[in-house]
Amino acid sequence: MALPQKKQQKSDATAARLSALNLPEGGAWAREARGAAKARVEAMGLPHPRDEYWKYTRPETLVAPQAPKAATFAPYESAVFGDIDRVNLVFVDGVFDPARSDDPAIGGVEIEPLAGVAAKDIHWARDLYGVLEARGQAPVERPLAALNTAYATEGVVIRVTGKAAKPVNLSYLQEALDTDVMIHNLVKVEAGADLTLLENGPAAGRLSKVLEVEVADGGAFHHVRTQGRAHERRAATHIFARLGKESTFKSFTLTVNGALTRNEAVIEFTGDDAVAHVAGACLGDGKDFHHDDTVFITHDAVNCESRQVFKKVLRNGAVGVFQGKILVTPVAQKTDGYQISQSLLLDEDSQFLAKPELEIYADDVACSHGSTSGAIDEEGLFYLRSRGVPKAEATDLMVIAFVAEALEEIEDPVIAADVLSRLEGWLHRRRNG
């Protein structure tokens, strides 16, 4: 019987992983949150290749007690967002490094390292830490996120009380070989407050990262990240967001390189008239590139707008996965949901697997979705070449044209230009190669 066998394998793999870890010390609230998270992991079991949402992405290397070997990126990666006026907080191999970080004291924002927060017996973080992650476990289980809640000791806890004076940037440097890291960040955007959070860098050979975000009524959260160019890095990242009335949430991710990336976003509208956009562009070259975007948006309030825009450029056997869901509950009338996932396959070896899902229980909604796979637009390519642009350069421009809709989701033009230049650099280095 297949089912008992899978169940046994899951529980064996989970036990093996948990036995290699120790629950961290901490204050009263953190001990409680971590213990509860560990219990969730034990109840669910870690991901198995035959789990419904792991059919297209093999979880073994993310689940195994020992992380696979992983070289760091050479030449050393130049810092994206380096020219933006920001507060830079640096993590080296997953550990917050205050000496290499800016002074976090800026207007409108309170920033504390997770380690310090978790040591306290009482802290507001208890209302958020692991709380949004636990809510996000149904109807689809995300055990790697619960594992992170239980065992992560590093991260930042951010409370946004007004309009943040400048963006906060989290730089994740990867300096040692074969690193295995868990980072858990919390962001609480209070009513009417506004923060831009930037993240960049690979962080580790194997990274587990959770970001829990609560945006209160009228608040705004903008998030832009690039995931680092290290070829052998593996990452499972989760964003859990809960959005209040008239709030705004926008998240964009650029992924180039990396052996395995699974980015999950779980977003819930709890207040009316809110907006959530989740977007991503990934560029993969080679059969050792596997990128997975898994998104779940729950409309549980009236007149909210959600957009999912995911673009993947794949070549030389690279694999891209998209699993995106819009769930509209019976109360969520006037929902405006949009979902597009597209791949540009630059050769016949590359692969795009897409599973768009809509589940709608309200009757007055507008939801649309589309998923396409295609080759480069010959018409556009000829247009550029007829103007004298050589084929390789024209192809790069057509790639940029393809991902443009996702890039347009970045609101700040300076940040968008920085991301675009990163993307152009990647294309340029691979031209004719």
Partner 1 sequence: MLEIRNLHVELAEEGKKILKGVDLTVEDGKVHAIMGPNGSGKSTLSYVLSGRDGYEVTKGSASMDGQDLLDMEPEERAAAGLFLAFQYPVEIPGVGNMTFLRTALNAQRKLRGEDEISSADFLKLIREKAKALKIDADMLKRPVNVGFSGGEKKRNEILQMALLEPKMCILDETDSGLDVDAMKLVAEGVNALRSEGRSFLVITHYQRLLDHIKPDVVHIMADGRIVKTGGPELALEVEHEGYADILAEEA
Burial of 99 (0-12, 13-18, 19+ CB in 10 A): exposed
Is residue 387 close enough to count as binding partner 1 by CB under 8 A? yes
Smallest gap from residue 395 Cβ to partner 1 (A): 12
User: Tokens in use for 113?
Assistant: 């390292």
Cα angle: 32, vertex 33, 37; to 5 degrees: 115
Distance, CA of 90 to CA of 217 (rounded, Å): 30
Interface segment toward partner 1; rule CB under 8 A; list 158-166, 167-175, 230-238, 398-406: 398-406
Smallest gap from residue 93 Cβ to partner 1 (A): 35
Of residues 383, 412, 425, 430, which one binds partner 1 by CB under 8 A? 383
Burial of 374 (0-12, 13-18, 19+ CB in 10 A): exposed
Is residue 69 close enough to count as binding partner 1 by CB under 8 A? no
In the bound state with partner 1, the residue whose beta carbon lies nearer, of 388 and 433, is: 388
Q: Which residues pair with 310 in a beta bridge?
A: 280, 341
Is residue 391 close enough to count as binding partner 1 by CB under 8 A? yes
> DSSP character for 190?
-
Burial of 265 (0-12, 13-18, 19+ CB in 10 A): buried
Which amino acid belongs to residue 175?
Answer: E
In the bound state with partner 1, the residue whose beta carbon lies nearer, of 203 and 394, is: 394
Q: Which residues pair with 281 in a beta bridge?
A: 254, 311
Is residue 404 close enough to count as binding partner 1 by CB under 8 A? yes
Smallest gap from residue 279 Cβ to partner 1 (A): 13
Smallest gap from residue 398 Cβ to partner 1 (A): 7
Smallest gap from residue 394 Cβ to partner 1 (A): 8
The residue behind tokens 């975000």 is 213
Smallest gap from residue 237 Cβ to partner 1 (A): 25
Is residue 346 close enough to count as binding partner 1 by CB under 8 A? no
Evaluated on CA atoms 6, 12, 18, 21, the torsion sign reads negative
3-state secondary structure (DSSP) of residue 213: strand
Interface segment toward partner 1; rule CB under 8 A; list 1-9, 104-112, 325-333, 377-385: 377-385
CB contact at 8 A, 130 and 149: yes
Is residue 380 close enough to count as binding partner 1 by CB under 8 A? yes
User: Tokens in use for 80?
Assistant: 């994206």
Residue 262 is inside which H or E element, if any? strand 260-269
Interface segment toward partner 1; rule CB under 8 A; list 38-46, 342-350, 355-363, 378-386: 378-386
User: Tokens in use for 242?
Assistant: 């809960």
Distance, CA of 431 to CA of 284 (rounded, Å): 14
Is residue 102 close enough to count as binding partner 1 by CB under 8 A? no
Is residue 370 close enough to count as binding partner 1 by CB under 8 A? no
User: Tokens in use for 76?
Assistant: 């050393």
Is residue 432 close enough to count as binding partner 1 by CB under 8 A? no
Interface segment toward partner 1; rule CB under 8 A; list 182-190, 231-239, 367-375, 389-397: 389-397
Is residue 389 close enough to count as binding partner 1 by CB under 8 A? yes
Interface segment toward partner 1; rule CB under 8 A; list 14-22, 28-36, 329-337, 379-387: 379-387
Of residues 36, 106, 275, 397, which one binds partner 1 by CB under 8 A? 397
Is residue 168 close enough to count as binding partner 1 by CB under 8 A? no
Interface segment toward partner 1; rule CB under 8 A; list 218-226, 318-326, 340-348, 400-408: 400-408
Smallest gap from residue 372 Cβ to partner 1 (A): 15
Check residue 256 and give left, alpha or beta (phi > 0: left; psi -120 to 50: alpha).
Answer: beta
Is residue 358 close enough to count as binding partner 1 by CB under 8 A? no
Is residue 390 close enough to count as binding partner 1 by CB under 8 A? yes
Is residue 103 close enough to count as binding partner 1 by CB under 8 A? no
User: Tokens in use for 176?
Assistant: 């040692």
Q: DSSP strand E in 46-108: where?
A: 87-92, 95-96
Number of Cβ within 10 Å of residue 121's Cβ equals 11
Helix residue spans in 142-205 (DSSP H)? 143-151
Distance, CA of 10 to CA of 5 (rounded, Å): 9
Is residue 403 close enough to count as binding partner 1 by CB under 8 A? yes
Is residue 417 close enough to count as binding partner 1 by CB under 8 A? no
In the bound state with partner 1, the residue whose beta carbon lies nearer, of 210 and 419, is: 419
Is residue 193 close enough to count as binding partner 1 by CB under 8 A? no
Of residues 22, 386, 413, 432, which one binds partner 1 by CB under 8 A? 386
Which amino acid belongs to residue 328?
Answer: V
Smallest gap from residue 420 Cβ to partner 1 (A): 8
Q: What does the binding site for partner 1 look like in residue numbers (CB under 8 A)? A: 377-380, 382-391, 393-394, 397-398, 400-405, 407-408
